[in-house]
């Protein structure tokens, strides 16, 4: 919700959105990131890092390269995270989408809303235990070998504030298919996403970036090789997450929750680490269960969630109710907020995603079906 970040239309990207282009794709999407406050905090951190590097460069020694975290896309650019036309339970139907989108490359329409559902702290440990058990018994997580690539295909969509001729409104993109390939060490990659790319072929995510930098892997830019080295002890893992993300996001607890959420979506946690992530999440204060939630394609499920008190939105990880397999994420507004003079009402789904395929392939741009 989070990930990846909110986004204005590609045609309306401002200076901040341009900053989060190819070099900034080292931050997680997804994410997570998925809402506006989180992305702005990340931009602030990055600029602080740049300023610190500039000061170091004035010394006689050679300047250290600027390290930027990888931004995996559903949350690239500035605006609210996304909303899917296929979300079940929407109050405004997808048929009212304004095809044409005011001249933008991507058609947009009115922001849709959904039932908030009931969030409760009751049953959180039991549900997460079931999810962790399902994750530990899963057989669909082979190791990634040298020369192979992690492939993730998803459906995503975003809601954002669009301003034309000094008039602003809250609108949504239609659901789109997103494909990403990343090498185990994170230095080679490719992205196909019509809401981000200039053309249908997609664009490289390979390093070094356009400025010649090769960021060091971290929780905010986690390669598969990096994840294989993380502890699988939930307490130690959570302590590392808090330490490494200190000062980011709207609160330490929300940032820890969002960081784990990013690793669940456009990442490939090794088999031993996967259940540990859920067990670590269970220890974060404020985690709740939402009994009825749907992913971007309308698949119903149950959500592990946490509300960001500052942003007034709730980040949800959605799981199948029977198998407890991870389906996707969404970010739902639960408290009325005003952004750029626009009221964002409770029930607005700010961001949504659905993971369709997660696999290991032998070549860049290869899909499991090919």
- Asked if 35 and 307 touch (Cβ cutoff 8 Å), the reply is no
pLDDT of 176 strictly over 50: yes
Cα 362 to Cα 136, 208, 235: the distances in Å are 25, 22, 35
- Specify the pLDDT at position 20: 39
- Specify the pLDDT at position 113: 82
- Specify the pLDDT at position 107: 56
Mean pLDDT of 352-366: 96
- List the one residue out of 23, 30, 14 whose CA is nearest residue 82: 30
Question: Which region holds residue 201: left if phi is over 0, alpha if psi is between -120 and 50, else beta?
Answer: alpha
Kind plus residue range of the DSSP H or E element containing 234: helix 234-244
Mean pLDDT of 218-238: 96
- Specify the pLDDT at position 119: 96
Question: Nearest 5 degrees, angle CA 221-CA 216-CA 197?
Answer: 50
The mean pLDDT of the chain is: 77
How far apart (Å, rounded) are the C-alpha atoms in residues 204 and 340? 33
pLDDT digits (tens, 9 = 90+) for 108-147: 677 878 899 899 999 999 999 999 999 998 756 888 999 9
pTM confidence score: 0.75
DSSP, collapsed to helix, strand or coil, labels residue 103 as helix
Q: In the 8-state DSSP scheme, what is residue 335?
A: S
pLDDT digits (tens, 9 = 90+) for 274-327: 999 999 999 999 999 999 999 999 999 999 999 999 999 999 999 999 999 999
């Amino acid at each position: 919700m989070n990930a990846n970040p909110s986004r204005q239309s590609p045609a309306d990207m401002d200076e901040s959105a341009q900053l989060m282009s190819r070099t900034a794709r080292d931050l997680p999407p997804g994410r997570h990131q998925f809402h506006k406050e989180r992305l702005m905090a990340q931009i602030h951190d990055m600029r602080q890092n740049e300023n610190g590097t500039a000061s170091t460069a004035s010394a006689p020694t050679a300047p250290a390269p600027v390290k930027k975290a990888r931004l995996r896309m559903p949350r690239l650019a500035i605006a609210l995270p996304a909303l899917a036309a296929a979300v079940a339970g929407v109050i405004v139907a997808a048929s009212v989408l304004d095809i044409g989108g005011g001249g933008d490359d991507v058609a947009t329409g009115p922001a849709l809303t959904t039932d908030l559902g009931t969030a409760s702290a009751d049953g959180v440990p039991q549900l997460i235990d079931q999810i962790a058990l399902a994750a530990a018994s899963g057989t669909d997580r082979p190791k990634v070998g040298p020369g192979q690539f992690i492939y993730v295909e998803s459906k995503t969509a975003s809601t954002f504030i669009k301003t034309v001729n000094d008039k602003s409104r809250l609108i949504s993109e239609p659901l789109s298919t997103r494909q990403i390939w990343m090498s185990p060490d994170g230095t080679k990659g490719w992205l196909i996403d019509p809401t981000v790319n200039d053309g249908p072929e997609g664009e490289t995510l390979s390093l070094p970036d356009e400025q010649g930098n090769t960021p060091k892997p971290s929780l905010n830019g986690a390669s598969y090789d990096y994840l294989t080295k993380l502890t699988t002890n939930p307490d130690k893992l959570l302590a590392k997450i808090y330490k490494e993300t200190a000062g980011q996001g709207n609160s330490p607890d929300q940032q820890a929750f969002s960081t784990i959420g990013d690793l669940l979506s456009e990442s490939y946690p090794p088999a031993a680490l996967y259940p540990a992530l859920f067990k670590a999440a269970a220890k974060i204060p404020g985690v709740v269960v939402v009994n009825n939630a749907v992913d971007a394609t309308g698949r119903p499920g149950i959500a592990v969630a946490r509300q960001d008190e500052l942003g007034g939105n709730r980040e949800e990880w959605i799981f199948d109710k029977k198998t407890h397999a991870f389906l996707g994420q969404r970010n739902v507004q639960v408290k009325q907020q005003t952004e750029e003079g626009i009221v964002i009402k409770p029930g607005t789904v700010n961001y949504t995603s659905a993971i369709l395929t997660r696999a290991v392939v032998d070549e860049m741009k290869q899909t499991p079906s090919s």
